[in-house]
Each structure stands twice: as structure tokens, then as C-alpha cells.
Amino acid sequence: MKDVKVLGPGCKRCVTTAEMVQTEADKLGVPVKVEKVTDYAAIAGYGIASTPGIVIDGKVVHAGGLPKAEDLARWLAA
């Protein structure tokens, strides 16, 4: 079970990003737990400066803008 956190204050892109993660994980058959982190202090704690950010198993893999589907697949498969 991969622990995925989507960092973002709740804007439209953050919601879309969380949906993309779930869709891509379902496609790959990777079990994931997607959690949205909306608290500004918590987001800042991950050291990013733009949202949405993606953290997989504690490691920041993406910050700023929508991720590309092929990148998501790569991160989830790793």
C-alpha cells in the first residue's frame, strides 16, 4: 500500500491531481491511500514552494501544476 499525499490548499488543480493519482494507480493495479493535505503549515513543512505537490511514501516527487500521467505511472511503479 503506497501512501500518497496531495499537497494543496484545495484549489481545483489539487482536486484534479488527487483524482489523477487514483485513476493512474487503479490502472496500474497499485494499491494506494490518497490523502489531501490542505494545512498551509503542513504543506510548507515538505519544503515545496508551489502547489499542487505530490508526496509518495514520504518523498516529494512533484510540485507545481498538474503532473503528467506518464510521470505519475513512473512514480507509482517505483
Partner 1 sequence: MSLNAITDRAPAAGPSTAKWIGWTVVALMAWGAVYSQLVPFSDWVMASTQVDPSSHLGEAVSFFAYDTPKVLMLLTLVVFGMGVVRSYFSPEKTRALLAGKHEGIGNVLAASLGIVTPFCSCSAVPLFIGFVSAGVPLGVTFSFLISAPMVNEVALGLLFGLVGWKVALTYLGFGLGVAIVSGWIIGRLHLEHWLEEWVRNIRSTAIVMPPEELTVVDRIKAGIEAVKEIVGKVWPWIIAGIAVGAFIHGYVPASLLASIMGRDAWWSVPAAVVIGIPMYSNAAGIIPVVEAFITKGAALGTVLAFMMSVIALSLPEMIILRKVLTIRLIAVFVGVVGTGILAVGFLFNALFQ
Closer to partner 1 by CB, 28 or 42: give it: 42
Cα distance between residue 70 and residue 54, in whole Å: 14
SS3 state of residue 27? helix
Q: Does 4 bind partner 1 (CB under 8 A)?
A: no
And the C-alpha cell for 65?
A: 501544476
Cα four-point dihedral sign 67, 2, 31, 34: negative
Closer to partner 1 by CB, 19 or 45: give it: 45
Output the smallest distance, CB 28 to partner 1, in A.
21
Q: Does 63 bind partner 1 (CB under 8 A)?
A: yes
Site residues, partner 1 (CB under 8 A): 7-9, 11, 13, 40-41, 43-51, 60, 62-65
